Amino acid sequence: MPDAPPIPAVQTYGLSRSFGNLTALSALDLTVNKGDLFGFIGSNGAGKTTTLRILATFLAPSAGRALVLGHDVVSAADEVRHVIGYMPDFFGVYKDMEVTEYLDFFGACYKIPSAKREKTVSDVLELVGLSEKKGALIGALSRGMQQRLGLARVLIHDPQLLLLDEPASGLDPRARIEMMAILQELQRMGKTIIISSHILRELETLCNRVAIIERGQLIYSGPVSGVRDQMATGVVMWVRVSTDTEQAAELLRRCPEIQQVETVDGRLKVTLINHEADRTVVAEALVKGGARILELQEDEVGLEEVFLRVTRGDTQ
């Protein structure tokens, strides 16, 4: 049987937001499917936070429309708030409160019955790995633990969609790894997660789909693997020969599929004209020309490299 078509969790249509003469978001058309762990990538000021705040109903769009699990973020804002958990990049904590007291307070805000709140608080603390900190003061927690507590807070009402704005910002490497492992577990539990981040290498392995945004406009949206295919400007091959390197370079420069050939530390850096170009032309040109190949490998272009190639770091 063919796979069932994906079910959208978030859909935006021409979503725009201006602040006076400043356009923070311009005609954004975006779809995030249920079950996605979706990476939202962009430079500071690109429009990521504006988008998440609109989806979280904290900011009204200037134009366009956004649906969250079928609910309009403007006309059905209350319904949206019950199905999302929003964690901003900077959130306030009450440092003199105990961990369980803090979560119990938010559970009450979501009208979770007092008889259920103790178990709910215990469950979310176990999920984020803070069970042993139940009685600790929030001010005594490390930055990484406070971030996990913030995640526990947005999970208290069991939302279907998580909107996480830079959740790993300012964390040390171990705390970032722990946070990413928690997000993967939440995805396995069926949560849909949108995460904005500058830590592109971690998003590459964490997310199944990504969007790249710059100056409020969408540049790419789709599978992580498709970023390289669609956005990469060319393929780089590295070649080492046992014969004359410059003669080998001349052989390669005659190929129409090859854009550029450079010598770097005794190796040839060969750039093909685009991602669809036939890689075999490199070996064929060298062998036919009498060159002997010692090494031939393709550069692995990661998400971070593609991001740097296709964006200029422009902000509004």
CATH 3.40.50.300 in the chain, residue ranges? 8-229
Choosing among 1.10.3720.10, 3.40.190.10, 3.40.718.10, 3.30.70.100, the CATH entry for 233-300 is 3.30.70.100
Q: Which residues of the chain have pLDDT under 70?
A: 1-3, 199, 228-234, 275-276, 300-316
Choosing among 3.40.50.300, 3.30.420.40, 3.90.170.10, 3.40.350.10, the CATH entry for 8-229 is 3.40.50.300
Per-residue pLDDT at 314:
47
CATH 3.30.70.100 in the chain, residue ranges? 233-300
User: Residue 181 corresponds to which tokens in the numbers above?
Assistant: 């492992």
Per-residue pLDDT at 299:
74
With beta carbons less than 8 A apart as the criterion, state whether 12 and 28 touch: yes
- Note the pTM of the prediction, 2 decimals: 0.78
Per-residue pLDDT at 316:
44
